[in-house]
Structure 1
Amino acid sequence: MPVTTGLHHVTAIAGDPQANADFYVGLLGLRFVKRTVNHDDTGTYHFYFGDYEGTPGTNVTFFPWTERGRRGEFGAGQTRAIAYRIPVAAVDYWVDRLETNGVAVERAERFGEPVLRFEDPDGIGLELVAAGGESPAVPWPDGPVPADRQLQGFHSVTLAVESLGPTADVLTDVLGFEEDGTEDGRHRYRSGPGGFAAVVDLVETDADRGRMGVGTVHHVAFRAESVAELREFRTAYHERDIRTSDIVDRSYFHALYAREPGGVLFELSTPEPGFTADEALADLGSSLVLPEWLEADREAIEAQLPAFDGPTVPGDG
């Protein structure tokens, strides 16, 4: 049975693209690693924010539906929070940085680790977890946050479900996660190999099924080593009567989608070819890039996209 090594990326739905990029780049200090469009809805941007290289396990991505987009409603079958790792010594720095910029922060502790809880401009729940251990995240040398205080890739995601069992079974029996403790109604699962971006927390909720829209997470993606391994995961899903997509070419990775019984859309994604497939490392995110099959429609696509000037980074003017 194949085993995922952990999170690959998380994709959410934003409102205003400018506010979205200013928050994740200008405030949180993630690099804007790719500016493209939703392949299934070319009138919508697809933004990727991550470490300097866009390393799998560091990227949060967004479909900005603009401020006129339908608001989502949080509920069962959705992601409650996206958690990033920070150095243990960076907690006070981040409290000060967030509060100075008008972001309300709540301090907590979970499984022995300090946690900072807050929301992005669209209401998506975010957390910074002061975790020890090594991270493969590559610091952004020219970023607005000092290298020794930057986000170090994902720590975990928290999924809210009506009933723990069906989702837990997919995590353990299909993706290869293992139970790793319970605290205050939170059930922690860790990918078999452990290590970086390897944690999924499940919490039960009595809320109705959530509605997708601005301010909600669209899907959670896990790492697969290759297209061949995607095929193995697809077989594992089908053996449990869970429908999947075909394997899809997303330009920077190949992907497989399945909605687990609790309602969360899961993706499995490969590491290759990566974000330098169509841009040099130094130029990542600097211009709108399109897959080859959309290049002929560039003029029409650009005409229907909302206004966006690029992220505002302190020191840019």
Structure 2
Amino acid sequence: MTSGIHHITAITRKIQANVDFYVGFLGLRLVKRTAGFEDADQLHLIYGGATGVPGTLLTFLSWEDGSPGRVGTGQAAEIALSIAPESIGFWLTRALTHNIQTTGPAQEFGEPVLRLKDPDGTIVKLVGETGVQPADPWPASGIAAADAVLRIRGATIFSEKPEDTAAFLARHFGFRPIAVANGIRRLAGDAADIIDIRDASGFWTSAPGTGTIDHIAFRAVDRAAVERAGAVLQAEGAGDINMHDRTYFYSLYVREPGGTLIEYASDGPGMLIDEPPETLGTRLFVPAHLQADPADVRARLPQFSLPGEERMTERDLPFIHRVHRPDNADGSALVLLHGTGGNETTLLPFGARVAPNSTLVSLRGRSNDEGYPRFFRRLTMTTFDQAEIVSEAEALVAFITEANAAYGLDPARTVFLGYSNGANMLGATMQLHPGVIRNAVLLRGMNALEAPQEVDLTGTNVLMVTGQSDPYGPHAAEIEKRLSGAGANVENRTLPAGHDIGLPDVDLARAFMEKVVK
């Protein structure tokens, strides 16, 4: 049995900040960008050396704007990267100049260690390791080869059963005990990778979320080795074991006795199976087994820029939101408000079909109704929380004002598109704050605001699209009456459909946008 670390996977909340840290600060190469193998709407980035060989790979699952996790028992808690011992001073200076939180240097098991925190708070240790050559050298900008990150040094596991955890890793993955100090058992693999097992008895349990490490993956020679290990683990009764073909490697997942998720991954086929070395990490890979439309996936995934590339930084505004700017943006914009149960990504593929050359800004409703995001609460099927409508309309107007400035949106060339609850929010906002929304598409909308408003909507253009068999369809007449009565130019189209939206809605919305946005 050979042994070593294949990769370490963690979870990030903001992918741009993550890229800036691991590529821009640490100097790793982005070797792969994929949609998640379990969820096509989850971006998965893989960093490493020049060709992405096992032992250099750090991977991140993007839970954009997700809740922070909690580091605790049954979880890996630190990532250790190897550098030359004489480079500690360089990295300390670099961290200070990049305003990155540091602790140390300090000695651990006779090695100098500088602790950093990435933007999510995950601890990254830079460990001065003597006599190590770079596993897969990559010429990072601003970092001399002598100071570069060399490889993964190891990881730390918090365990309430440190003896059992150590025995499990030794028995199944070839890591042997080499030292004990200060409540930490150190294990080493054949390639001198290390696993530190900290006795965390009495510590709180971990909780998954951003800023936590999801799993550690150990190296297997090939798929056959993974399958043999799976058979041994099953015979031992090691618990649930899942095997998967991840395209770039074949792997299994199992939890060690202390609860930490462990992956066992084959070295091949490797990161170069679908991209040559010179363009590695430049295109998005969408796993075929998900049967997802790649165009829809691209629209839903968060965008980011590598260091040196032109970028648009997402701003902290009153609503959690997602911005998608196409390469051929024409200066128009489409602002999207989802329906009940949706979120800031739900309407992005729809919006990309309606306006492929427009900047898309998609919001997440701030209200929570029976566990679902909404823009305001529903009291009955056709009555709504009036106070919340008023307050959320004010927040939406503040968002629009700030988004116009932050993203350079032209109000005259911006269309607002809402579906169901999102459409109702737009209809109410136009009545409460006339002139802020000049062009709107209301899909399956109805009037939600009870008190009539004396407003002037002259110059406002509205497309309403109602489903012929939509149970809420009969309620659309009131919002049409109010908007047109206030002077808006309202077009109401009826489709042979229910409450769901589809391609006919796309066609109508596209034609409307082409007409009102010059």
Tell me the TM-score range normalised by the shorter chain.
over 0.9
Structure 1: which 5+ residue stretches go unaligned? none
Give yes or no for contact 1:26–1:314 (8 Å, CA) kept in 2.
no
* Shift, 1:234, TM fit: 1.1
CA distance in 2, matches of 1:31, 1:144: 13
2:149 maps to: 151
- Which aligned pairs between 1:1-317 and structure 2 lie closer than 5 A? 3-66=1-64, 68-106=65-103, 107-191=105-189, 193=190, 195-196=191-192, 198-205=193-200, 206-294=202-290, 297-306=293-302, 308-313=303-308
| Larger displacement relative to structure 2 (283-292 or 262-271) | 283-292
Paired letter, 2:77: R
TM-score, length-scaled by structure 1: 0.93
Paired letter, 2:175: F
CA distance in 2, matches of 1:99, 1:315: 25
| Larger displacement relative to structure 2 (23-32 or 136-145) | 136-145
Instruction: Identify if the C-alpha distance between structure 1 residues 84 and 142 changes in structure 2 by more than 3 Å, giving closer, same or farther.
Output: closer
* Shift, 1:305, TM fit: 1.2
Instruction: Identify if the C-alpha distance between structure 1 residues 166 and 313 changes in structure 2 by more than 3 Å, giving closer, same or farther.
Output: farther
* 1:72-125 alpha-carbon deviations (Å, 9 max, x no partner): 011101112100000122111111011110012221101111000111000101
Q: Secondary structure at the match of 1:311?
A: coil
Paired letter, 1:291: P
Paired letter, 2:81: Y
Give yes or no for contact 2:27–2:140 (8 Å, CA) kept in 1.
no
* Shift, 1:174, TM fit: 1.6
Give yes or no for contact 2:8–2:217 (8 Å, CA) kept in 1.
yes
CA distance in 1, matches of 2:140, 2:187: 35
TM-score, length-scaled by structure 2: 0.58
* Shift, 1:152, TM fit: 0.7
CA distance in 2, matches of 1:278, 1:238: 33
CA distance in 2, matches of 1:89, 1:45: 36
CA distance in 1, matches of 2:22, 2:69: 20
Instruction: Identify if the C-alpha distance between structure 1 residues 279 and 294 changes in structure 2 by more than 3 Å, giving closer, same or farther.
Output: farther
CA distance in 1, matches of 2:72, 2:107: 24
RMSD: 1.9
* 1:187-243 alpha-carbon deviations (Å, 9 max, x no partner): 10112x3x34x2101001121210000000011000000111112211221232113
Paired letter, 2:250: H
* Shift, 1:142, TM fit: 4.8
Give yes or no for contact 2:156–2:196 (8 Å, CA) kept in 1.
yes
Give yes or no for contact 2:6–2:57 (8 Å, CA) kept in 1.
yes
| Larger displacement relative to structure 2 (281-290 or 212-221) | 281-290
* Shift, 1:144, TM fit: 3.7
Aligned length: 310
Give yes or no for contact 2:32–2:47 (8 Å, CA) kept in 1.
yes
2:470 maps to: none
Q: Secondary structure at the match of 2:267?
A: coil
CA distance in 2, matches of 1:182, 1:131: 18
| Greater relative CO, 1 or 2 (CA 8 Å, sep 6+) | 1
CA distance in 1, matches of 2:308, 2:159: 37
CA distance in 2, matches of 1:244, 1:54: 29
Give yes or no for contact 1:15–1:69 (8 Å, CA) kept in 2.
yes
* Shift, 1:309, TM fit: 2.9
Instruction: Identify if the C-alpha distance between structure 1 residues 313 and 83 changes in structure 2 by more than 3 Å, giving closer, same or farther.
Output: farther
Q: Secondary structure at the match of 1:231?
A: helix
CA distance in 1, matches of 2:24, 2:214: 23
Paired letter, 1:186: I
CA distance in 1, matches of 2:182, 2:309: 39
CA distance in 2, matches of 1:74, 1:98: 23
Paired letter, 1:71: P
Instruction: Identify if the C-alpha distance between structure 1 residues 281 and 295 changes in structure 2 by more than 3 Å, giving closer, same or farther.
Output: farther
Give yes or no for contact 2:28–2:140 (8 Å, CA) kept in 1.
no
Mark the structure with the bigger radius of gyration. Answer: 2
CA distance in 1, matches of 2:289, 2:264: 23
